[in-house]
Amino acid sequence: MTPKRLRLFGAAAAIVLVAAPIAVAVAQTPMDDPLDARDAKRLDRMEKVVRELRDIVFKGQKTGVPVVVEPADTDSRLGDLSTRLSDLEATLKRVNGSLDSTTHDLDQARRDNAALRAQLKSLGDRLTADEQKMAEAAQAAQAAAQAASPPTPAEPPPPADPRAAAAAANADFAKARQMMLSGDYDSAEKAFSAFVTTYPDTPKTPEARYWWGKTLSVRGDYVKAAGAYIGAIRGWPQTAWAPDAVVELARSLVQLKKSPDACQALAELPRRYPKAPPAIKERAATVKLQAKCT
Protein backbone atom coordinates (compact mmCIF):
# COMPACT_ATOMS: atom_id res chain seq x y z
CA MET A 1 0.00 0.00 0.00
CA THR A 2 1.02 3.59 -0.58
CA PRO A 3 1.49 5.92 2.38
CA LYS A 4 -1.71 7.78 1.45
CA ARG A 5 -3.76 4.60 1.40
CA LEU A 6 -2.19 3.48 4.69
CA ARG A 7 -3.21 6.73 6.28
CA LEU A 8 -6.81 6.34 5.01
CA PHE A 9 -6.84 2.75 6.24
CA GLY A 10 -5.53 3.74 9.66
CA ALA A 11 -8.12 6.54 9.98
CA ALA A 12 -10.95 4.19 9.15
CA ALA A 13 -9.65 1.62 11.67
CA ALA A 14 -9.47 4.26 14.35
CA ILE A 15 -13.02 5.36 13.65
CA VAL A 16 -14.22 1.78 13.93
CA LEU A 17 -12.31 1.16 17.16
CA VAL A 18 -13.67 4.34 18.68
CA ALA A 19 -17.22 4.07 17.38
CA ALA A 20 -17.71 0.38 18.24
CA PRO A 21 -17.37 0.77 22.04
CA ILE A 22 -19.54 3.87 21.86
CA ALA A 23 -22.27 2.01 20.02
CA VAL A 24 -22.03 -0.91 22.50
CA ALA A 25 -22.06 1.46 25.42
CA VAL A 26 -25.02 3.31 24.05
CA ALA A 27 -26.84 0.06 23.46
CA GLN A 28 -26.07 -1.13 27.02
CA THR A 29 -26.63 2.14 28.86
CA PRO A 30 -30.04 2.13 30.50
CA MET A 31 -32.19 5.21 29.75
CA ASP A 32 -34.93 6.59 31.84
CA ASP A 33 -37.14 7.51 28.88
CA PRO A 34 -37.61 5.42 25.73
CA LEU A 35 -36.35 6.83 22.46
CA ASP A 36 -38.85 8.42 20.19
CA ALA A 37 -39.20 7.21 16.62
CA ARG A 38 -36.93 9.87 15.15
CA ASP A 39 -34.05 9.20 17.58
CA ALA A 40 -34.42 5.49 16.96
CA LYS A 41 -34.03 6.00 13.25
CA ARG A 42 -30.96 8.16 13.73
CA LEU A 43 -29.41 5.52 15.96
CA ASP A 44 -30.11 2.82 13.38
CA ARG A 45 -28.40 4.90 10.69
CA MET A 46 -25.33 5.42 12.90
CA GLU A 47 -25.09 1.71 13.59
CA LYS A 48 -25.34 1.00 9.88
CA VAL A 49 -22.50 3.42 9.15
CA VAL A 50 -20.35 1.84 11.85
CA ARG A 51 -20.93 -1.65 10.47
CA GLU A 52 -20.04 -0.48 6.96
CA LEU A 53 -16.82 1.15 8.17
CA ARG A 54 -15.88 -1.98 10.12
CA ASP A 55 -16.43 -4.15 7.07
CA ILE A 56 -14.24 -1.82 5.04
CA VAL A 57 -11.44 -1.96 7.61
CA PHE A 58 -11.55 -5.74 7.94
CA LYS A 59 -11.63 -6.15 4.16
CA GLY A 60 -8.53 -3.95 3.81
CA GLN A 61 -6.70 -5.84 6.53
CA LYS A 62 -7.36 -9.23 4.98
CA THR A 63 -6.72 -8.46 1.29
CA GLY A 64 -4.42 -5.44 1.30
CA VAL A 65 -6.32 -4.21 -1.76
CA PRO A 66 -7.41 -0.56 -1.93
CA VAL A 67 -11.02 -0.31 -0.87
CA VAL A 68 -13.44 1.56 -3.09
CA VAL A 69 -16.11 3.26 -1.01
CA GLU A 70 -19.48 3.24 -2.70
CA PRO A 71 -21.42 6.53 -2.81
CA ALA A 72 -23.76 6.97 0.08
CA ASP A 73 -27.44 6.25 -0.35
CA THR A 74 -28.14 9.98 0.04
CA ASP A 75 -26.12 10.78 -3.08
CA SER A 76 -28.06 8.17 -5.04
CA ARG A 77 -31.32 9.64 -3.92
CA LEU A 78 -30.12 13.12 -4.77
CA GLY A 79 -29.23 11.84 -8.23
CA ASP A 80 -32.67 10.34 -8.62
CA LEU A 81 -34.26 13.60 -7.49
CA SER A 82 -32.12 15.54 -9.95
CA THR A 83 -33.20 13.21 -12.75
CA ARG A 84 -36.83 13.56 -11.79
CA LEU A 85 -36.50 17.34 -11.67
CA SER A 86 -34.98 17.30 -15.15
CA ASP A 87 -37.87 15.16 -16.38
CA LEU A 88 -40.37 17.53 -14.75
CA GLU A 89 -38.67 20.53 -16.38
CA ALA A 90 -38.85 18.82 -19.78
CA THR A 91 -42.52 17.97 -19.19
CA LEU A 92 -43.26 21.56 -18.18
CA LYS A 93 -41.56 22.80 -21.33
CA ARG A 94 -43.72 20.50 -23.45
CA VAL A 95 -46.86 21.60 -21.59
CA ASN A 96 -45.94 25.26 -22.04
CA GLY A 97 -45.32 24.67 -25.74
CA SER A 98 -48.69 22.94 -26.05
CA LEU A 99 -50.38 25.81 -24.20
CA ASP A 100 -48.73 28.36 -26.51
CA SER A 101 -49.94 26.43 -29.56
CA THR A 102 -53.45 26.14 -28.12
CA THR A 103 -53.52 29.88 -27.36
CA HIS A 104 -52.41 30.67 -30.90
CA ASP A 105 -55.12 28.38 -32.32
CA LEU A 106 -57.75 30.04 -30.12
CA ASP A 107 -56.66 33.50 -31.27
CA GLN A 108 -56.83 32.38 -34.89
CA ALA A 109 -60.30 30.91 -34.31
CA ARG A 110 -61.47 34.20 -32.80
CA ARG A 111 -60.15 36.11 -35.81
CA ASP A 112 -61.83 33.66 -38.18
CA ASN A 113 -65.12 33.98 -36.30
CA ALA A 114 -64.91 37.78 -36.46
CA ALA A 115 -64.26 37.65 -40.22
CA LEU A 116 -67.16 35.24 -40.68
CA ARG A 117 -69.51 37.52 -38.76
CA ALA A 118 -68.42 40.46 -40.92
CA GLN A 119 -69.09 38.44 -44.10
CA LEU A 120 -72.53 37.39 -42.85
CA LYS A 121 -73.40 41.00 -42.06
CA SER A 122 -72.24 42.10 -45.51
CA LEU A 123 -74.35 39.38 -47.15
CA GLY A 124 -77.35 40.39 -45.06
CA ASP A 125 -76.95 44.03 -46.10
CA ARG A 126 -76.69 43.02 -49.76
CA LEU A 127 -79.80 40.84 -49.51
CA THR A 128 -81.72 43.72 -47.93
CA ALA A 129 -80.59 46.07 -50.70
CA ASP A 130 -81.55 43.53 -53.40
CA GLU A 131 -84.98 43.03 -51.85
CA GLN A 132 -85.52 46.78 -51.84
CA LYS A 133 -84.50 47.03 -55.49
CA MET A 134 -86.84 44.18 -56.42
CA ALA A 135 -89.70 45.92 -54.62
CA GLU A 136 -88.98 49.16 -56.48
CA ALA A 137 -88.82 47.30 -59.82
CA ALA A 138 -92.15 45.61 -59.08
CA GLN A 139 -93.73 48.98 -58.33
CA ALA A 140 -92.30 50.42 -61.56
CA ALA A 141 -93.63 47.47 -63.58
CA GLN A 142 -97.05 47.86 -62.00
CA ALA A 143 -97.06 51.56 -62.81
CA ALA A 144 -96.02 50.78 -66.40
CA ALA A 145 -98.83 48.27 -66.76
CA GLN A 146 -101.33 50.79 -65.46
CA ALA A 147 -99.97 53.41 -67.85
CA ALA A 148 -100.25 50.98 -70.77
CA SER A 149 -103.94 50.55 -70.08
CA PRO A 150 -105.25 53.93 -68.94
CA PRO A 151 -108.72 53.95 -67.43
CA THR A 152 -111.38 54.40 -70.01
CA PRO A 153 -113.86 57.09 -69.09
CA ALA A 154 -117.41 57.00 -70.17
CA GLU A 155 -117.35 57.21 -73.93
CA PRO A 156 -119.48 59.84 -75.62
CA PRO A 157 -122.34 58.48 -77.58
CA PRO A 158 -121.08 57.50 -81.03
CA PRO A 159 -122.19 59.64 -83.96
CA ALA A 160 -124.97 58.29 -86.01
CA ASP A 161 -122.67 58.03 -89.05
CA PRO A 162 -119.55 55.77 -88.58
CA ARG A 163 -117.82 57.75 -91.29
CA ALA A 164 -118.30 60.90 -89.25
CA ALA A 165 -116.78 59.18 -86.19
CA ALA A 166 -113.74 58.09 -88.19
CA ALA A 167 -113.36 61.60 -89.56
CA ALA A 168 -113.48 63.05 -86.04
CA ALA A 169 -110.81 60.61 -84.82
CA ASN A 170 -108.57 61.43 -87.76
CA ALA A 171 -109.00 65.15 -87.10
CA ASP A 172 -108.08 64.78 -83.40
CA PHE A 173 -105.04 62.66 -84.31
CA ALA A 174 -103.89 65.27 -86.86
CA LYS A 175 -104.21 68.07 -84.28
CA ALA A 176 -102.16 66.15 -81.72
CA ARG A 177 -99.54 65.30 -84.33
CA GLN A 178 -99.28 68.93 -85.41
CA MET A 179 -98.73 70.03 -81.78
CA MET A 180 -95.82 67.64 -81.54
CA LEU A 181 -94.28 68.73 -84.83
CA SER A 182 -94.43 72.35 -83.65
CA GLY A 183 -92.52 71.45 -80.48
CA ASP A 184 -95.44 71.86 -78.06
CA TYR A 185 -94.80 68.54 -76.31
CA ASP A 186 -96.94 69.31 -73.27
CA SER A 187 -100.02 69.96 -75.39
CA ALA A 188 -99.20 67.01 -77.65
CA GLU A 189 -98.87 64.71 -74.63
CA LYS A 190 -102.31 65.72 -73.38
CA ALA A 191 -103.84 65.43 -76.84
CA PHE A 192 -102.50 61.92 -77.50
CA SER A 193 -103.48 60.80 -73.98
CA ALA A 194 -107.01 62.04 -74.62
CA PHE A 195 -107.04 60.34 -78.03
CA VAL A 196 -106.17 56.86 -76.71
CA THR A 197 -108.80 57.33 -74.02
CA THR A 198 -111.51 58.56 -76.35
CA TYR A 199 -110.70 56.23 -79.27
CA PRO A 200 -109.27 53.00 -77.75
CA ASP A 201 -110.01 50.77 -80.76
CA THR A 202 -109.45 52.83 -83.90
CA PRO A 203 -106.78 52.00 -86.48
CA LYS A 204 -104.90 55.13 -85.35
CA THR A 205 -104.85 54.20 -81.66
CA PRO A 206 -101.58 52.13 -81.69
CA GLU A 207 -99.79 54.93 -83.52
CA ALA A 208 -101.26 57.47 -81.11
CA ARG A 209 -99.79 55.42 -78.25
CA TYR A 210 -96.42 55.46 -80.00
CA TRP A 211 -96.43 59.28 -80.33
CA TRP A 212 -97.76 59.60 -76.81
CA GLY A 213 -94.73 57.57 -75.63
CA LYS A 214 -92.47 59.95 -77.57
CA THR A 215 -93.85 62.98 -75.71
CA LEU A 216 -93.45 61.18 -72.39
CA SER A 217 -89.82 60.26 -73.22
CA VAL A 218 -89.07 63.93 -73.96
CA ARG A 219 -90.39 64.82 -70.52
CA GLY A 220 -88.38 62.00 -68.86
CA ASP A 221 -91.45 60.08 -67.69
CA TYR A 222 -89.99 56.71 -68.66
CA VAL A 223 -92.45 54.64 -66.65
CA LYS A 224 -95.49 55.91 -68.56
CA ALA A 225 -93.48 56.00 -71.79
CA ALA A 226 -92.65 52.28 -71.47
CA GLY A 227 -96.35 51.51 -70.92
CA ALA A 228 -97.31 53.55 -73.99
CA TYR A 229 -94.76 51.78 -76.21
CA ILE A 230 -95.91 48.36 -74.96
CA GLY A 231 -99.48 49.26 -75.95
CA ALA A 232 -98.29 50.52 -79.33
CA ILE A 233 -96.39 47.36 -80.37
CA ARG A 234 -98.89 44.89 -78.92
CA GLY A 235 -99.35 42.34 -81.68
CA TRP A 236 -96.15 43.49 -83.45
CA PRO A 237 -97.86 45.62 -86.10
CA GLN A 238 -96.17 45.84 -89.48
CA THR A 239 -95.94 49.62 -89.71
CA ALA A 240 -93.16 52.11 -90.41
CA TRP A 241 -93.06 53.38 -86.81
CA ALA A 242 -93.13 49.95 -85.08
CA PRO A 243 -89.31 49.26 -85.20
CA ASP A 244 -88.61 52.65 -83.66
CA ALA A 245 -91.22 51.94 -80.96
CA VAL A 246 -89.28 48.77 -80.04
CA VAL A 247 -86.03 50.72 -79.74
CA GLU A 248 -87.72 53.46 -77.69
CA LEU A 249 -89.22 50.83 -75.38
CA ALA A 250 -85.78 49.32 -74.81
CA ARG A 251 -84.29 52.76 -74.13
CA SER A 252 -86.99 53.50 -71.55
CA LEU A 253 -86.35 50.15 -69.86
CA VAL A 254 -82.64 50.92 -69.65
CA GLN A 255 -83.49 54.21 -67.94
CA LEU A 256 -85.64 52.25 -65.50
CA LYS A 257 -82.62 49.94 -64.80
CA LYS A 258 -84.38 46.95 -66.31
CA SER A 259 -81.64 46.01 -68.75
CA PRO A 260 -82.63 42.31 -69.10
CA ASP A 261 -86.10 43.34 -70.34
CA ALA A 262 -84.51 45.86 -72.70
CA CYS A 263 -82.20 43.19 -74.12
CA GLN A 264 -85.16 40.88 -74.64
CA ALA A 265 -87.05 43.56 -76.58
CA LEU A 266 -83.99 44.31 -78.74
CA ALA A 267 -83.55 40.60 -79.46
CA GLU A 268 -87.02 40.57 -81.06
CA LEU A 269 -86.24 43.52 -83.34
CA PRO A 270 -84.33 41.67 -86.14
CA ARG A 271 -86.77 38.78 -86.02
CA ARG A 272 -89.96 40.88 -86.10
CA TYR A 273 -88.66 43.67 -88.32
CA PRO A 274 -85.78 42.37 -90.46
CA LYS A 275 -86.20 45.23 -92.92
CA ALA A 276 -85.92 48.02 -90.36
CA PRO A 277 -84.06 51.12 -91.63
CA PRO A 278 -80.29 51.27 -90.98
CA ALA A 279 -80.73 54.30 -88.71
CA ILE A 280 -83.06 52.28 -86.47
CA LYS A 281 -80.59 49.38 -86.38
CA GLU A 282 -77.75 51.75 -85.42
CA ARG A 283 -79.81 53.20 -82.58
CA ALA A 284 -80.69 49.67 -81.46
CA ALA A 285 -76.97 48.80 -81.36
CA THR A 286 -76.29 51.86 -79.21
CA VAL A 287 -79.05 50.96 -76.74
CA LYS A 288 -77.78 47.36 -76.67
CA LEU A 289 -74.37 48.65 -75.55
CA GLN A 290 -76.00 50.79 -72.88
CA ALA A 291 -77.96 47.76 -71.63
CA LYS A 292 -74.79 45.59 -71.77
CA CYS A 293 -76.59 42.85 -73.65
CA THR A 294 -74.61 39.69 -74.29
What is the residue extent of each domain of the chain?
3-70, 81-142, 162-291
pLDDT at 193 over 80: yes
Residue pLDDT, tens place only, 9-52 = 444 444 444 444 444 444 444 545 455 677 777 778 777 877 87
Taking the CA atoms of 50, 56, 57 and 59 in sequence, report the sign of the dihedral they define.
positive
DSSP secondary structure, 206-273, as one string: HHHHHHHHHHHHHHT-HHHHHHHHHHHSTT---SSSHHHHHHHHHHHHHHTT-HHHHHHHHHHHHHH-
162-291: what CATH class? Answer: mainly alpha
User: What residue ranges in the chain does DSSP mark as E strands?
Assistant: none
Provide the 10 A C-beta neighbour count for residue 173.
Answer: 21
Residue pLDDT, tens place only, 104-130 = 887 887 887 677 577 657 655 765 665
Pair 46, 8: CB distance under 8 Å: no
Share of the chain above pLDDT 70, in %: 66
